[in-house]
Amino acid sequence: MRSTQVIGLLFVLGAVLLSSWILGGVGSETSASAGAGAFFGLMISAIPFLIISAILLVPSSIKLLSGKARIVHGFNNKKWQLLLLINLVISFGYVCIITFIIFTYITVKLGLM
């Protein structure tokens, strides 16, 4: 479980680094084709990193909400609890985004928007 949490955080950090590298040269003076290239670069690199991170972090973070599970999996010192806290915040963000996407899809499909 600890390796899942560490790998999930590494995928988030990789996505942030890739995004900053890809979008580093994009500005208001950037041509449309370069902007489209940056968008394509994000779609094939950073977005899959975030999806893999969500698949790893959300279920394992929910499992580790239990005190008994934290003891069993060795999350009993400050370093591992800090990692769990960071990953819980990231997981909460993923759940909020997924909930928003589902809510928006349902309201658009039902014609409520």
Contact in structure between 76 and 1 (CB atoms under 8 Å): no
Contact 48, 36 (CB under 8 A): no
- C-alpha pair distances (Å), 101 with each of 45, 76, 105, 108: 21, 35, 6, 11
Along the 113 residues of the chain, how does pLDDT read in single tens digits? 889 999 999 999 999 999 888 888 777 787 888 888 888 888 898 899 999 999 999 999 999 999 899 999 988 899 999 999 999 999 999 999 999 999 999 999 888 76
What long-range pairs does 19-27 form, CB within 8 A, spacing at least 24? 19/46, 22/46
CA dist., res. 91 & res. 4, Å (int)? 13
Which pair of tokens denotes residue 43?
């779609």
Domain span holding position 28 = 2-110
Q: How many domains does the chain have?
A: 1
